[in-house]
């Protein structure tokens, strides 16, 4: 699938030169796509007919379809159909600081985290960069407002689709295009250590969030199979490396699962693990799903956990809950429709 939305500006210029066109023409196309937001090649009115014909014969331009929308207070969930019939979701959240969107990076996911609804569908394929870009463009079109923040926290493991995710970031960050600030983009990973190491060397400035969810290997391996491959110590080591090289703070996400990882012992253990690291912990009250047995921790337990971290001088916040009514909350991004065709 050769989509015109799959090209960062530099790549588009290179391609244009290879077909005997100028780099300037490529910049014009990029501008039509991302600034003027046209939908059809023929709308690119400052380009010659032959070039437009060539482009429409060689590239697709419209290939993700919005098929369903659900709304709740400050949140909208979008269901998209891809060119091959697969379905993915994106979620828009309205914050006081702007609009943020949570995008999917894969159809399904192979990480097998036991608490995650999205992972119940095994990975079917990676999303192309253009399918990530179009999630954003379609949502902006729907709300007729700009999106300021992006989190790669939808369906899929972004570091299991590394190259396309990086290409996506290049496209949306380009000041000549959508121009989303690099510090307004967050990648969340379950901890694929070699990819985190590679990510350090991108020097991209993108925010890094790690789904930790447990303070020791025994517990983490039980709920996150990836921990059998990369241990907590491997994660901590690479995170320290990341902080040293980038001087950026890392976020650790920690879902609170009732009776599993939410007691005082875990809170203290987590504090010890993270002491002295430039990070903050985002506590996520678990969103219950109909297919998985874990329960949400009680409010008092969540608050106690929070207090212990605070007392131990760990930066900590409790994530605001969005969209549980429309099953758009974390881990619930898998409606009944999302089955393999």
Confirm or reject binding of residue 164 to ligand SAH (CB under 6 A).
no
- Nearest of 159, 288, 294 to residue 223 by alpha carbon: 294
- Stretch of 26-34, 83-91, 108-116, 238-246 contacting ligand SAH, by CB under 6 A: 108-116
How many chain residues are in contact with ligand SAH, going by CB under 6 A?
A: 19
* Site map 11..30 versus ligand SAH, x via CB under 6 A: --------------------
Q: Which is nearer to ligand SAH, 186 or 246 (CB)?
A: 186
* Diameter over CA atoms, the chain: 69
145 is catalytic: no
Minimum Å gap between C-beta 249 and ligand SAH is 17
| Binder of ligand SAH out of 44, 103, 116, 193 (CB under 6 A) | 116
- Stretch of 22-30, 45-53, 188-196, 300-308 contacting ligand SAH, by CB under 6 A: 188-196
Minimum Å gap between C-beta 112 and ligand SAH is 11
Q: Which is nearer to ligand SAH, 134 or 151 (CB)?
A: 151
Confirm or reject binding of residue 89 to ligand SAH (CB under 6 A).
no
Confirm or reject binding of residue 286 to ligand SAH (CB under 6 A).
yes
Residue whose C-beta lies closest to ligand SAH: 331
For 115, residues 6+ apart whose C-beta sits below 8 A from its C-beta are: 213, 223, 255, 257, 286, 292, 294, 331
Confirm or reject binding of residue 331 to ligand SAH (CB under 6 A).
yes
Minimum Å gap between C-beta 141 and ligand SAH is 25
Q: Which is nearer to ligand SAH, 271 or 327 (CB)?
A: 327
89 is catalytic: yes
For 61, residues 6+ apart whose C-beta sits below 8 A from its C-beta are: 3, 4, 5, 39, 40, 41
| Binder of ligand SAH out of 3, 161, 287, 327 (CB under 6 A) | 287
User: Is residue 231 exposed (0-12), middle (13-18) or buried (19+ Cβ within 10 Å)?
Assistant: middle
Q: Residue 68 forms beta bridges with which residues?
A: 79
User: How far apart are alpha carbons 312 and 281 in whole angstroms?
Assistant: 12
**Cα-Cα-Cα-Cα dihedral sign, residues 218, 220, 222, 225:** negative
The active-site residue, picked from 109, 116, 266, 330, is 330
Minimum Å gap between C-beta 328 and ligand SAH is 11
Confirm or reject binding of residue 253 to ligand SAH (CB under 6 A).
yes
* CB of 104 closer than 8 Å to CB of 134: no
Confirm or reject binding of residue 153 to ligand SAH (CB under 6 A).
yes
Confirm or reject binding of residue 211 to ligand SAH (CB under 6 A).
yes
Confirm or reject binding of residue 330 to ligand SAH (CB under 6 A).
yes
Query: Which active-site residues does the annotation give?
Result: 89, 330
Binding residues for ligand SAH (CB under 6 A): 111, 113, 115-117, 153, 157, 188-190, 211, 253, 255, 284, 286-287, 289, 330-331
């Amino acid at each position: 699938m050769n989509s015109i939305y799959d090209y960062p500006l530099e790549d588009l210029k290179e391609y244009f030169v290879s077909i005997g066109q100028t780099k300037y023409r490529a910049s014009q196309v990029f501008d039509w796509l991302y600034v003027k937001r046209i939908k059809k090649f023929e709308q690119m009115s400052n380009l010659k007919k032959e070039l437009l014909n060539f482009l429409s014969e060689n590239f697709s331009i419209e290939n993700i379809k919005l098929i369903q929308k659900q709304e709740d207070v400050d949140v909208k969930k979008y269901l998209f159909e891809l060119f091959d019939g697969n379905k993915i979701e994106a979620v828009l959240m309205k914050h006081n600081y702007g609009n943020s969107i949570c995008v999917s990076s894969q159809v399904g996911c192979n990480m097998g985290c036991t608490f995650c609804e999205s992972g119940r569908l095994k990975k079917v394929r990676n999303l192309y960069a253009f399918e990530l870009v179009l999630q954003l463009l379609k949502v902006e079109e729907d709300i007729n407002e700009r999106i300021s923040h992006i989190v790669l926290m939808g369906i899929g493991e972004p570091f299991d689709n590394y190259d396309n995710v990086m290409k996506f970031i290049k496209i949306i960050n380009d000041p000549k295009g959508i121009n989303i600030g690099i510090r307004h983009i967050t990648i969340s990973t379950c901890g694929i250590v070699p990819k985190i190491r590679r990510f350090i060397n991108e020097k991209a400035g993108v925010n890094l969030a790690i789904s930790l969810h447990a303070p020791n290997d025994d517990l983490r391996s039980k709920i996150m199979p990836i921990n059998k491959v990369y241990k907590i110590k491997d994660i901590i080591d690479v995170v320290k490396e990341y902080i040293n090289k980038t001087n950026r703070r890392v976020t650790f996400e920690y879902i609170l699962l009732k009776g599993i990882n939410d007691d005082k012992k875990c809170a203290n253990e987590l504090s010890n693990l993270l002491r002295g690291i430039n990070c903050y912990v985002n506590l996520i009250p678990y969103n219950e799903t109909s297919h998985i047995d874990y329960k949400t921790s009680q409010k008092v337990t969540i608050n106690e956990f929070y207090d212990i971290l605070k007392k131990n001088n760990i930066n900590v916040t409790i994530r605001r809950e969005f969209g549980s009514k429309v099953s758009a909350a974390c881990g619930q991004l898998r409606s009944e429709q999302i089955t393999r065709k």
